[in-house]
Amino acid sequence: MPEAMGFFTDTTVCIGCKACEVACKNWNELPSEDGGLRELSGDSYDNTRRLDGIHWRHVRFIEQFHGAYEGRWLMMSDVCKHCVQAPCLEVCPTGAIIRTEFDTVVIQSDVCNGCRDCIAACPFGVIDINHVSGTAQKCTLCYDRLQVGLEPACSKACPTDSIQFGTIAELRARGQKRVEQLKSQGVDAYLYGADPGGPLGGLNSFYLLVDKPGVYGLPESPRLPTRNLKPAGALSAASAAVLGLLALVGLRKQRMDDMAGTTSGGTA
Amino acid sequence: MSDTFFTASPHWTWFIIPYFFIGGLAGGAYFLAALVEWFGRPEDRPVVRTGYSVAFWGAIVSGLLLTLDLGRPLRFWHMLFQSERFPHLMFKSWSPISFGAWAILLFGACAALSMLGARAEEGRSQGALAKALSGGTVLGKLVAGVGGLFGFFVAGYTGVLLAVTNRPIWADSPWLGALFLVSGASTGAALLTLLGPGRGASERSLKWLASFDSRALVFELVILIAFMVSLGSVARVWLSVWGVLLLLGVVGVGILWPLRLHAKPAGAVNAALLVLVGGFLLRAVTILASSGIEFHRVAEGAMR
C-alpha cells in the first residue's frame, strides 16, 4: 500500500507565473471556456478567477494595496484539498467519488451523473460541472501519473517549488521547517490544513499562509455537511408529528360535532 | 463571515425549484389522504382519491424534473444501483440525495398502488389487485400508511438535503427540512381544496381541509421565524430582492392573506390559490438567495 501523497504549497515563493495552471490544463486535456474567448477580469492579472470543472488549478492574485505605492501581492496556487474526511465523497449519491490508494480523492467521470451535490458540499468551492462531460470534475492529483510513478503535472512545472509533491509525512515536516525559518525572519507564517487533528482530519493539500485564511478565499474552519443531518432530520420528524396531530384533532373535532348534532337532533 | 460563504453554487435552479414544490405538494397531499383513509368517514372518500391522484402524478413529474436536472440524465439509475456492480444497490443513509432518490421511488410505488385502488373504487379498474387495494380494505390502508410516511419524507427531505451542504443559508440553519415539510402539507391541503369539489368532495371534507390549512399556515409562520432567527448574522443575506419576495410573497401572500381569507365564509378557494403561490415562492427564494452568492465574489470581498 503506497503512503498518503499530497501537495504542500508555500505561498511565499509563488510568483504567479501560472505554469501550474497551464501544465494542469495540458496534461488533463481540459477544454477552454467559450472557445478561448474568456472574459478578462479587468481589475487583476487573475483572469481565471476561480476553480471549476475546467480549471483544476487556479493561481489566486491577492492585491492588498493602500494608495499608489504601499501594499503587497499575495499569490497562491489553489487546488482541491484532497480532504482526509472529504465532504464531497461523503454526500456523493452515486459512489462516483472515491478515495484512492494514495489517500487522494478522485471523481470517476464514467460513474458521476452530474447531480451537483458535491459542489454544494465542498467547503472550498473547488468542484464544478465540466460542460463537455456533463459531470462534476476537479483535480485528481494526477492519479494517472501517480499510478506510473510520475509527479503531478503542476508541481513538476512549478519553477519556484511553491507547489511541492511528496508523502504527507515528509511534506508536513518540510512545511513546519519552512514556517520556523520564516518566523525567525519575522514573518507571521503558519500552516493551513496540515494538522491531522484539525478540521476534516487534515488536508492532503495544505498551505503555508502569511495572512488570515479568509484573505486567500479559504474558510476558517471547514466542516462536514452531515453535521446538520441529525438536527434537521429531528426537527422535520417533530414537525411531521405536530402536523399529524393537528390533522387528527381536526378530524376528531368534526366527529364530535357530528355526534353532538345527532344527539341534539335526536333530543329535539 | 460564515464559512459557508466560501463555497460554490451547485446551480440548482429551474428544474429543482418546481421539483421541490411539486414533491412537497404531492407528499403533503398523500399524507392527508392517508390520514383520512385511516380515520375519515365514507363521505371523505373523494378527498382520499384526489390525494392519491395528486401524489401519483406529482411523483412522476418530480422524478422527471429530478432526472432532467442531472448533467447526465441517462445515468439517473446510478443513484439507485452501483453502476460498476449492477445490480448491487446504491444507498447511503447519511446522504439525503441518496436516500431521497429511494424515497421518491417508493413513494411513487405506493401512490401508484393507492391510485389503482381509487380507480377500482370509481369502477374504472377491475383487476384483482385493484379491488384488493380499493377503498377501506386492509391492504389499501397498509399501502396508504406506508405511502403517507414516505409522502412526508419526500416533502421534508428536500429541506434536509439543502441543510446537508456547506452553502450559505441552507447549511446555516437546521430548520429548512421542517419548513419545507410544513409548507408541503399546507400546499397539499390547498390543492385538495381546489381539486376536491370537481371529484365530489363533501362540504364537510372541504371544511376540514380549510381548518387544517389554517393551522398548518400558523405553524409554518412559527417555523419560518425560527429559521430566520437560527441564521444569525447570515440573515443579512435576505437584505436583497429575495428578502423582499420572502416577506411579501411567502409571508404576506402565502401565509397572512390566506389566513385572513380562511376566516371568511367563502374564502377557502382564494386562500388555497394564494397558499400555492406562497409555497412555490418559498422554494424559489430559498434556492435563489443562496445560489446568487458566488464564491469568487465573496473571496474578493474578504481579500480587501
> pLDDT by residue (tens digit) across A23-60?
999 999 999 887 777 788 887 888 898 999 999 999 99
Neighboring chain B residues of A95 at a CB cutoff of 8 Å:
78, 82-83, 90
- Tell me how close the Cα of B120 comes to any Cα of chain A, in angstroms: 25
Q: How high does pLDDT run on average in chain A?
A: 93
Please tell me which residue, B295 or A187, carries the higher pLDDT value.
A187
Q: A68 CA to chain B: closest CA distance, Å?
A: 15
User: Which amino acid is residue A191, in one-letter code?
Assistant: L
Helix residue ranges per DSSP H, A32-107:
87-91
Residue A135 in this model has a pLDDT that exceeds 90 = yes
Q: What is the pLDDT of residue A267?
A: 45
**Any chain A CB within 8 A of the CB of B235?**
no
Structure confidence at residue B295 as a pLDDT band (50, 70, 90): low
Whether the pLDDT of residue A204 is over 90: the answer is: yes
Judged by CB atoms closer than 8 Å, whether chains meet at A115 and B79 is answered as yes
As a whole number of angstroms, the distance between CA A248 and CA A253 comes to: 8
Question: What pLDDT is stored for residue A123 in this prediction?
Answer: 97
Q: Which residues of B touch A229 (CB under 8 A)?
A: 94, 96, 160, 163-164
Mean of pLDDT values over A240-249: 95
Query: Is residue A145 classed as helix, strand or coil in its secondary structure?
Result: helix
Instruction: Summarize pLDDT for B150-166 with one digit per residue, the tens.
Output: 999 999 999 999 999 99
Contact B35 A49 (CB under 8 A): no
Give the closest-approach CA distance of B127 to chain A in angstroms: 32
Residue B14 makes CB contacts below 8 A (sequence gap 6+) with none
A98 at interface of B, judged by CB pairs closer than 8 A: no
Q: In this complex, is the C-beta atom of B125 within 8 Å of any C-beta atom belonging to chain A?
A: no
Is B135 an interface residue toward A (CB < 8 Å)? no
Q: Which of A94, A108, A258 to mutate to test the interface with B (most CBs of B within 10 A)?
A: A94
Nearest CA in chain A to B222: A239
Indicate yes or no: CB of B6 within 8 angstroms of CB of A233.
no
- pLDDT category at A15 given cuts 50, 70, 90 is very high
Q: Does B88 touch chain A (CB under 8 A)?
A: no
Position B303 pLDDT exceeds 60: no
Q: What is the pLDDT of residue B161?
A: 97
Beta pairing class for A135-137 and A128-130: antiparallel
pLDDT for A268 equals: 39
Q: What is the mean pLDDT of residues B75-95?
A: 95
Q: Which residue of A has its CA nearest to B172?
A: A228
- Between CA A248 and CA A246 the distance in angstroms is 6
Give the residue among A77, A102, A80 at the shortest CA–CA distance from A163.
A77
Residue of B7, B20, B167, B173 best to disrupt the A interface, most CBs of A under 10 A: B7
Mean pLDDT of B111-139: 89
- Give residues 167 to 206 of A whose Cβ lies within 8 Å of B: none
CB-closest option in A122, A223, A248 to B8: A122
Q: How far is CA A38 from CA A126, A198, B86, in A?
A: 19, 38, 41
Is residue B294 predicted with pLDDT exceeding 80? no
Q: Which residues of B touch A215 (CB under 8 A)?
A: 302-303
Q: What is the pLDDT of residue A264?
A: 66
* Per-residue pLDDT, A32: 86
- The CB-side HSE value for B267 (13 A sphere, CA atoms) comes to 15
Question: What local confidence, expressed as pLDDT, does residue A56 receive?
Answer: 98
B3 at A interface, C-beta within 8 A:
yes
Which residue, among A236, A248, A254, A255, would best test binding to B if mutated, counting the most B CBs under 10 Å from its CB?
Answer: A236
Average the pLDDT over A234-238 and give the result: 97
What does the pLDDT average to over B65-81? Answer: 96
Which residue from A120, A126, A135 is facing B10, i.e. has the nearest CB? A120
Q: What is the pLDDT of residues B177-222, one digit of tens each?
A: 999 999 999 999 999 999 999 999 999 999 999 999 999 999 999 9
Contact A8, A162 (CB under 8 A): no
Mean pLDDT computed over B142-155 = 95
pTM over 0.80: yes
Given CB atoms, is A220 within the 8 Å cutoff of chain B?
yes
Where does the pLDDT of residue B292 fall: very low under 50, low under 70, confident under 90, or very high at 90 and above?
A: confident
> Where does the pLDDT of residue B301 fall: very low under 50, low under 70, confident under 90, or very high at 90 and above?
low
Q: Which of residues 19-48 of A touch B (CB under 8 A)?
A: none
Average pLDDT over every residue of B96-107 = 96
Whether B12 and A116 lie within 8 Å, measured CB to CB: yes
The mean pLDDT of B131-141, rounded to a whole number, is 88
Nearest alpha-carbon partner for A45 in A63, A30, A57: A63
- Is A109's Cβ below 8 Å from some Cβ in B? no
Residue A266 has pLDDT above 70, yes or no: no
| Shortest Cα–Cα distance, A43 to chain B (Å) | 11
- Pick from B94, B185, B298: which is nearest to A229 by CB? B94
Residues of A in contact with B94 (CB under 8 A): 90, 226, 229
Question: What pLDDT is attached to residue B299?
Answer: 52
pLDDT for position B302? 52
DSSP symbols for B146-163: HHHHHHHHHHHHHHHHHH
The model's confidence at residue A80, banded by pLDDT at 50, 70 and 90, is very high
Give the closest of B101, B177, B204 to A235, CB-based: B177
B 155-174 residues with CB below 8 A of A? Answer: 156-157, 159-161, 163-167, 170-171, 174
8 Å CB contact of B35 and A217 = no
ipTM, two decimals, is 0.94
Cα B118 to Cα A208: distance, rounded to the nearest angstrom: 66
**pLDDT at A185 (0 to 100):** 96
Cell 412555490, located at residue: B280
What does the pLDDT average to over A234-242?
97
Host H or E run for residue B258: helix B257-262
Q: Which residues pair with A163 in a beta bridge?
A: A9
Q: What average pLDDT score do residues B65-88 get?
A: 95
A45-54, B26-35, B262-271: least confidently modelled range: B262-271
Nearest CA in chain B to A109: B72
- Residue A173 has what pLDDT? 98
Q: Which residue has the higher pLDDT, B221 or B266?
A: B221
At residue A140, φ and ψ (nearest 5 deg) are: -105, 5
Hey, are the CB atoms on B295 and A217 less than 8 Å from each other? Answer: yes
